[in-house]
Amino acid sequence: LLLTLSAVAIARAELCKPDAQNAFKVRISIKTALGDNAYAWDANEEYLFKAMVAFAMRRYSSKSTTQISNVLLCNVTDRVSFWFVVTDSSKNVTTVPGSEVEAAIRMNRNRINSAFLLSDKTLQFLKITSTLAPPVEPSTPVWLIVFGVVLCLIVAGIVFLIISGIQKHKKKNKDSTERENLEEKVEVTLENGIPCEALDLKASHINGVFAADDERFTSL
């Protein structure tokens, strides 16, 4: 029994090592992410990480029977970084293909990050590309924003037309008044049936009708 357990331990150790087939390296920056509220990485955190990876594998494949014991960690450093593999639950001496592990991690990346209060930048799976954050939806519906913009443009157009109409009307009245004043200045009046210009007393104009009569008399 001891020989069997030793053989299994050696085999599992061979499965999880740096750059092993289907192995992934993880780098965690707890201090950078949480500052003074940073927690220590210990055996409990390792257990939670294994549980989250097992959860991701089971959620990725509804037929998966992955257990926490199928997730192996190795080369754990204080900074914190480590390697992990997921073993096949049916054989337990071979690893799950890396493509399946990567797909499961990408599918559940937000859940894993939330479990450790981290993000893609502070919880890095070095050989697994980061997932894009879900787009932020505005609190106000887009159609309502477009409707508001169109309504503002319509109101601005109506106000512009009203103001321009008022200005044109004022200009027309002003032109009409100036034209009437000009006509009054050149108005011709009739006196005794003979048309004559209006007298301008200030300019001492002489009525031409009477001027013609004065010329008939010669001075002595």
Condensed to tens digits (0 to 9), the pLDDT of residues 121-167 reads 999 999 887 665 555 555 677 778 888 889 899 999 899 888 888 88
Does residue 162 sit within a domain?
no
Does residue 50 sit within a domain?
yes
CATH assignment at residue 37: 3.30.70
Does residue 113 sit within a domain?
yes
State the total domains in the chain: 1
Closest CA to 100 of 120, 73, 128, 81: 128
Alpha-carbon span 85 to 108, nearest angstrom: 17
Does residue 175 sit within a domain?
no
Burial of 78 (0-12, 13-18, 19+ CB in 10 A): exposed
Does residue 114 sit within a domain?
yes
Strand order in the sheet with 123-125: 71-77, 81-86, 24-28, 123-125
Does residue 32 sit within a domain?
yes
Alpha-carbon span 5 to 48, nearest angstrom: 25
**pTM > 0.75: yes or no:** no
Q: Residue 90: give the domain boundaries.
A: 11-125
Number of H helices, E strands in the chain: 7, 6
**What is the per-residue pLDDT across 15-42, written as a single tens digit (0 to 9) for each?**
888 988 899 999 999 999 999 999 999 9
The rounded radius of gyration (Å) of the Cα atoms in the chain is: 49
Alpha-carbon span 107 to 130, nearest angstrom: 11
Does residue 137 sit within a domain?
no
* pLDDT value at residue 62: 72
